[in-house]
Amino acid sequence: MNSEQLFGSNLVAMVTPMDARHGVDGSSLDRLVEHLIDTRCDGIVVAGTAGEAPTLTDTETAGLIESVAAKANGRARVIAGVGTNDTASSVERARRAEAAGADALLVVCPYYSRPTQAGIVAHCVAVADATDLPVMLYDVPARTGTAMDAATLVELAGHPNIRAVKDAKGDLFEAMSVMSRTSLDYYCGIDELNLPYLAIGATGLVSVVGNVVAEQNGELIYLVRDGDLVSARRLQSRLLPFADAVMRTSQGAIMAKVALHAVGIIDYAAVRLPLVESPQEHVQRLTATLAHLPTRSIAART
């Protein structure tokens, strides 16, 4: 089974809807999952960075995975974020995610501890060994403080369960180099660079803006695969103002919730501390971009 079958190609880093008291909002969660599937998302990342994973309890995380898996019911892959900076905790989260119905795991490079590359390898192997689920590594040095070296990725590619990388490093040359030396599939984890990653051979996207524009992201993937880079550039240029408003104002998870609330998918844009809700000028900037999003057209391709 190839990575697209294991993870999907048009993945969304799903936010965790919360109510006015900052508890998980089950009714908004159900609507959000249905919205993502309706807009051609084929992989839902649960309890990742955009899902505010560090503020979720183990019980909440397992409940989220179980709820999303039940709602998706095989219509989209469910990829559970299980990475922490503690290997034993990550292993336990992986096992709980498997029991809760996850189809795959997302494992972030351990943060805060800043392990050596040998420590990163040992950590990722321990988590990959914990279940039979396929693993997508998450390389995001801006958040973790440590990047996965190319040699580390090449070594980890030898593990039978480690199949893909969510790359939020932004080093396109390294990505091409690792893809040429391994069977790892790459997924772009930087919405501003979706088109360049697809153009160099990425299998797909793990997108925060996809919470609202998954169908347009799917169209971008289609156009690149079809070799129509002129149309792909045109579409990407129309998506950039929205991506800029979501990813380059206060914070991606915060602004994705603002956008989802604005279009009526979730009831509240609430986030948990240390995140705080966006100032009004950011909200106004984002909502102004919503009116200019390109019309969804991927339905005509299927």
Residue 228, token pair as written in the block: 């129509």
Three-class DSSP category at 300: helix
Distance between CA atoms of residues 66 and 79, nearest Å: 11
Residue 54, token pair as written in the block: 């560090």
Which run of H or of E encompasses 136? strand 135-139
Q: Phi and psi at residue 289, in whole multiples of 5°?
A: -75, -25
Identify which of 268, 285, 279 has the alpha carbon closest to the alpha carbon of residue 16: 268
Distance between CA atoms of residues 81 and 65, nearest Å: 9
In the chain, what's the furthest Cα-to-Cα distance? 49
Three-class DSSP category at 25: coil
Distance between CA atoms of residues 87 and 104, nearest Å: 18
Catalytic positions are 138, 166
CA within 13 Å, CB half, 5 = 2
Residue 192, token pair as written in the block: 């501003």
Residue 101 CB partners (closer than 8 Å, separation 6+): 65, 66, 69, 70, 78
